Structure 1
Amino acid sequence: MDVTLKIIEILPPFDLIASLLGDSSIELIVINNFFEIVNQFKSTGKVDEKSLDETLMMMASIKDHLWEIINTGHFSKVNKLHRQIFTLTSLQKAVLLLIKGSHKKMDLNEASMWELDNGLLLGCPLSHPDHSDILNDCLTLMQCKNDCIESETTIALDTKQDDRPMNDICEIEIIERPSIHYFEQNHFNKSQPVILKNCMSQWPALSKWNKPSYLLEVCRNRVVPIEIGKNYTNENWSQDLVKFEDFFRRQFLENDETSIGSKKIEYLAQHNLFDQIPALKNDVSIPEYCCITNRTSDNEIDVDIKAWLGPEGTTSPMHIDEKNNLLCQVFGSKRIILAPPKDSINLYPFDGDMLKNTSQIDAEHLDFDRFPLLANVKFYSFTLYKGEMLYIPPKWWHFVRSLSKSFSVSFWWE
């Protein structure tokens, strides 16, 4: 009950929510019911069970309707108000589930966390005078350490070859912790890819993230988006929201030998995991090289941090990004194939807005009969190992395939 009451204390006030909803009468009825239940619980520790269950049903109906709206068409074109109401409803439903659990002496924390994570992933941030993001603060209050970690999860993951072999051949330059000035003059300004060594040796992530016990302790019951299938250009590719523990056990802890050919490859790819789970953000540092920018304004540089976690075989097809990218390998290794921007015309990008930044080719198996202009392309092929950063300048084409179980972090900036 203590956690439930603490969460109730940071809820947005009724007036703020009512002003957001405007003339949305159904939502306002639900909000009225919600605050009646919350106030009753605060003052007496009891609730009207019938009103609680009816309100939960109405919230579920509202969320189902908004889910269809949010998942129809391109996400960037979804009305912000619909996302805000989705987040509000997720928060309120989570609180009511906690109240129901406290009232009936049931453990509904996991169901509440599912609702809050849904609100985080698909909605908009909700603020409070003392809380910059209410949903994240609620999840922090609810997040507790898992004391019963199975013995199988206490050992480090087997990631095959983590360190660069002495005889490894790399087709781009490798340099040891260059100065910011050297990096800017020789790579950033010249738009030249480079591998940077010993620039992340101080990261706690290097010693923590390959231990399943740690990742499960921090992320176990959180909801994350995953990609299912070879890559996003494949017709059988799909996405889903799943509990982190379920995804992690399937892809990292199940016996690979018994599941070959039957296990679908799942990939937690290009996800802003670190804002969702701030504890992980404390394990990494924004590389100092991200302070270099071509912008002329004095605004603070915005660094977009993304997570890439998956088993051997996860693939990103040949594509380009518009921003500078430092791809940092925390554990495992990845096969990289690069091609310069000047070869864009020879790389057969898809038609249409959705995939215009993606090539139709299979970078590891070049088909010169189907794509004859590939004969003109200068490709750079190499492996990225644990503890290394790869600088990928804007509009450089890059293909990425995991050679082992792998966790990478990318830092994008302009």
Structure 2
Amino acid sequence: MAELWSKIRAVLPPNEEKFPLQFSDKVESSVVEMLRRCREQLYSDTTGTSRMLNAQIIVDYSWEKLNTGTWRQVDKEWRRVYSYGCLFKAAALCREDPSADEVLQAVRTCDMGLLMGAAIMDDMLQVIVRILQAEVRKSAKEDEEKSEHPEVKRIKIELPRVPVIKGELAVPRIRCPSLESFNTNYLLPLKPVILEGIIDHWPALNQHPWSIEYLRSVAGCRTVPVEVGSRYTDEEWSQTLLTVNEFIDRYIVNKDGSKGVGYLAQHQLFDQIPELKDDICLPDYCCLGKGEEDDITVNAWFGPGGTVSPLHQDPQQNFLAQVVGSKYIRLYSPEDTDKLYPHQSQLLHNTSQVEVENPDTGRFPEFSAASYLECVLQPGEVLFIPVKHWHYVRSLELSFSVSFWWS
């Protein structure tokens, strides 16, 4: 660990004068002064206690600003302040021959800045967390080599409840259609289809097959948002922050019904952990959209069997790519919206009140009259879900999917 600070110091600006700290008048002068003090201490021999104390003041104060009102009301300047606070705190943790626990705390601090803050200094937090993560991997490898009998945790395998797909209800399939063919036959008429063979080249399916072990190796120590609950419409549904290792241990390996169902579902994962982003590619068919490539939202969906996404619709086109495990999916046309009984509240107006596989026909009598298509999506397959099409998803087993939302 002794060399860690020299690696971090090497990626920081060479001196205090070249370390940028510029904010609008929305940030109080007292806060800017504290940031300048932290910057000065970064380049001086101040005691570690003083560096940590001042950095924590910045983190705590800006955190309060981030949690006042709704997220869209938070000014970006305060998100930048929070990121600077996280940078100073991570540096303070790693300054003087840090322990393994302090390095992990620094990783979590950087992740909080990446999740809740705004990019600063050419994404400096991402640069630093890569250095820290390499140190964590190195230490883990050394510990493993010292251990004569490394512990192997086995995943409890459950046989999935796989529905029988009737021919007339099956989502059509096509292998590697041309752009013109896909555009004419599916995109313009907004028809669902399963595309086969279009992601076979992904490293996630070849060079770096995604697995529990692989996720631990590239992201185990990283802190990510986790949804707790089998579906987001449940009253007990909530969100929390866990490391990927904690999530796997709690909800995948040592699956305990008393803890509920945990699901890693977020759009920042691939920006936060570039190693995973390098394992996937945008489907070529996204070029048929009207938006720019930067406007495409890439989402990660990772969790155990039994996790359900209630029947809902999205405002964009969707390619759902299955990488690990399988999912049962049912699709309804927006023409049948009235038969699907959307929630009346503005918050859930895009979500149906009906439990698709166990409908209450007394409360929702028209639901059974709505026509649908269904499929079991397997690894290597991509489902095109047209804009506004209602879709219900149930993971049949341990599953990792990637979705691309585009216009």
Name the TM-score class by shorter chain: 0.7 to 0.9
CA contact (8 A) 2:264 2:302 kept: yes
Superposed, 1:116-127 pairs within 5 Å as: 116-126=110-120
Q: Is the 8 A contact 2:303 2:399 kept in 1?
A: yes
Structure 2 equivalent of residue 228 of structure 1: 228
Match of 1:387 among 380, 389, 393: 380
Q: List runs of 5+ in structure 1 lacking aligned partners.
A: 41-45
Deviation digits for residues 263-292 of structure 1 (CA, Å, limit 9, x no counterpart): 321000133211111111111111111111
Change (3 A) 1:53 1:382: closer
Moved more, 11-20 or 333-342: 11-20
Q: Which residue of 2 aligns with 1:289?
A: 285
The Cα offsets for residues 368-407 of structure 1, whole Å up to 9 and x where unpaired, read as 2101221331122221111110000000000111000000
SS of equivalent to 1:285: coil
- 2:203 is aligned with what amino acid? P
Find the counterpart in structure 2 of residue 43 from structure 1. Answer: none
Partner secondary structure for residue 152 of structure 1: coil
| Contact 1:157/1:210, CA 8 A, preserved across alignment | no
Which residue of 70, 86, 89 corresponds with 2:82? 86
Q: Give the aligned partner of residue 34 of structure 1.
A: 38
SS at match of 2:270: helix
The answer on whether the counterparts of 2:163 and 2:328 sit within 8 Å (CA) in structure 1 is no
- Between 206-215 and 279-288, report the one with greater CA deviation: 206-215
**Pairing 1:66–2:65 present:** yes
Residue in structure 1 matching 2:125, options 135, 153, 161:
135
Secondary structure, in 3 states, of the residue corresponding to 2:392?
strand
Distance 2:99 2:366 in 1: 67
The aligned counterpart of 2:104 is 110
CA distance in 2, matches of 1:108, 1:223: 15
SS at 2:260 equivalent: coil
Does the CA-based 8 Å contact 1:33-1:51 persist in structure 2? Answer: no
Q: CA deviation at 1:13?
A: 6.3
Residues 218, 50 of structure 1: alpha-carbon distance in 2 compared, 3 angstrom cutoff: closer
Task: Please give the alpha-carbon distance, in whole angstroms, between the structure 1 residues aligned to 2:319 and 2:165.
Answer: 24
Residue 308 of structure 2 aligns with an amino acid whose one-letter code is T
> Using a 3 Å threshold, how does the CA distance of structure 1 residues 64 and 165 change in structure 2: closer, same or farther?
same
Q: Give the letter aligned to residue 3 of structure 1.
A: K
- The one-letter amino acid of 1:262's match is S
**Alpha-carbon displacement from aligned partner over 1:153-210 (angstroms, at most 9, x marks no partner):** 7x9996868x999998861101112111111111001100001112111111124344
Match of 2:53 in 1: 54
Aligned mates of 1:11, 1:243 — CA distance in 2: 34
Alpha-carbon distance in structure 2 between the residues aligned to 1:405 and 1:242:
18
- Listed one character per residue, the Cα deviations across residues 53-111 of structure 1 (whole Å, up to 9, x for unaligned) are 43144234314423432xx43x2333322222222222222222222x43x66752211
CA distance in 2, matches of 1:332, 1:13: 52
Note the 1:339-350 alignment, pairs <5 A. 339-350=332-343
- The one-letter code of the counterpart of 1:289 is Y
Counterpart of 1:251? 251
Name 2:274's counterpart in structure 1: 278
Please tell me whether residue 322 in structure 1 is matched to residue 315 in structure 2.
yes
SS in 2 for 1:182: helix
Q: Which moved more, 1:329-338 or 1:144-153?
A: 144-153
**Which amino acid in structure 2 is aligned with residue 93 of structure 1?**
K
SS of equivalent residue, structure 1 residue 306: strand
CA 1:263–1:413 in structure 2 vs 1: closer, same or farther (change >3 Å)?
same
**Does the Cα contact within 8 Å between 1:98 and 1:112 map onto a contact in 2?**
yes
Q: How many Å apart are 1:48 and its aligned residue?
A: 2.3
User: Tell me, what secondary structure is at the counterpart of 2:298?
Assistant: strand
Amino acid across the alignment from 1:236 = E
What does the per-residue CA deviation read over 1:309-367, in whole Å, with 9 as the maximum and x for residues that have no partner?
00011111111111111100001001101100101122111123221111111111122
8 Å CA contact 1:267–1:309 kept in 2: the answer is yes
Q: Report the counterpart of residue 202 of structure 2 in structure 1.
A: 203
| In 2, Cα distance between equivalents of 1:160 and 1:300 | 39
Aligned residue in 1 for 2:326:
333
The whole-number CA distance in structure 2 between the counterparts of 1:134 and 1:59 is 17
* CA spacing shift, 1:11–1:320, aligned 2, 3 Å: farther
Is the CA contact 2:155–2:252 (under 8 Å) kept in the aligned structure 1? no
Q: In structure 2, what is the Cα distance between the partners aligned to 1:113 and 1:106?
A: 11
Paired residues for 1:144-163 under 5 Å? 144=134, 145=137, 146-147=140-141, 150=150, 152=152
CA distance in 1 between counterparts of 2:14 and 2:321 reads 36
Contact 1:334 1:404 in 2 (8 A): yes
2:264 corresponds, among 255, 262, 268, to 268
What RMSD, in angstroms, separates the aligned Cα atoms of the two structures? 2.9
Equivalent residue for 1:176?
Answer: 175
Asked if the contact 2:62–2:82 (Cα under 8 Å) also holds between the matched residues in 1, the reply is yes
The share of aligned pairs that are identical, in percent, is 32
Inter-CA distance 12–388: structure 2 relative to 1 (3 Å threshold): farther
Report the alpha carbon displacement of residue 23 of structure 1 after superposing the two structures with TM: 5.3
- Return the letter of the residue paired with 1:137: V
Q: Decide whether aligned partners of structure 1 residues 55 and 283 sit closer, same or farther in structure 2, where only a CA change above 3 A counts.
A: same
Corresponding residue for residue 147 of structure 2: none
**May I ask how many residue pairs the two structures share in their alignment?**
392
2:258 is paired with a residue of what secondary structure? coil
Does 2:305 correspond to 1:309? no
Rate the CA distance shift 1:377–1:167 in 2: closer, same or farther, 3 A: closer
